[in-house]
Amino acid sequence: ESEDIAFFVLRLSKINVEALDMELLMYHFFKSDTEVPEESIQRLCRFSGGIRAWSSIAELIPHIPTLVVESHALRYPLSLEQEQSDLFTDVTMKMQQTRTPVFLTVGITHIRITSVHTLNIAPGLVCRSAEIVLLADVSNMYTVQTGHETNEFIVRRSRQGDTISFTSPNRETIIRTIRAAKSHLKDQQMPLAEQFMRFSNVPATLLHISMLSVDVYDKELRGAP
């Protein structure tokens, strides 16, 4: 029967929210000729009762065909879950001024933050949240000695200087584990194609690509502003 079912994979992480004009998007979504009637919204709320959500690909696998699991769309997120990793359970993360218990997993290329308890996503739909932080996007980690929280530490991202606050009695071990994984990641040469995929500035990307013809192995020259 699965051959008669269409499977769609939408990877929200591929949407560049920094470059997306949200006001323009909302205008087109809610303008009069595309306005969704109240009756349709009510149907959508009832429809969400039949939706099932999973916080990992491993939990999803038993419910989808092997062909979908092996598809290109799921290859990368599945590879992240299959990485060798260290799991820390006695951790809380600050979310909207409250502390939420989470599982913190440090892999070879990423950090996975999974909520211990399920969260309300929509009417009748609950699921554990899962956030992926690439080690390449982590700029710094440090402990907080003067804060109100005990055993607090901060993970700072490279992009826009965003920070994530955690508390754990094992914070020193967690920080050492993240730093060791990040150090090992730096020792591995990143493919050129993956380097350019990280650029969100199109003119800068084109400039870097043009510099490849000068000297493909001169990283300092290619990275010159």
DSSP state of 149: S
- Percent of the chain at pLDDT exceeding 70: 65
Contacts of 54 (CB under 8 A, 6+ apart): 60, 63, 127
Report how far apart, in Å, the C-alpha atoms of 33 and of each of 28, 41, 43, 50, 172 are. Answer: 9, 16, 20, 29, 56
Q: Which fold has domain 84-187?
A: PH-domain like (2.30.29)
* pLDDT tops 90 at residue 110: yes
Residue-wise pLDDT for 39-71, tens only, equals 666 666 666 666 788 889 999 999 888 888 888
Residue in 131, 126, 117 with CA at minimum distance from that of residue 77: 131
Q: Which amino acid is at 112?
A: R
User: pLDDT value at position 152?
Assistant: 92
The ranges assigned to domains in the chain are 2-79, 84-187, 192-222
CB 204 within 8 A of CB 222: no
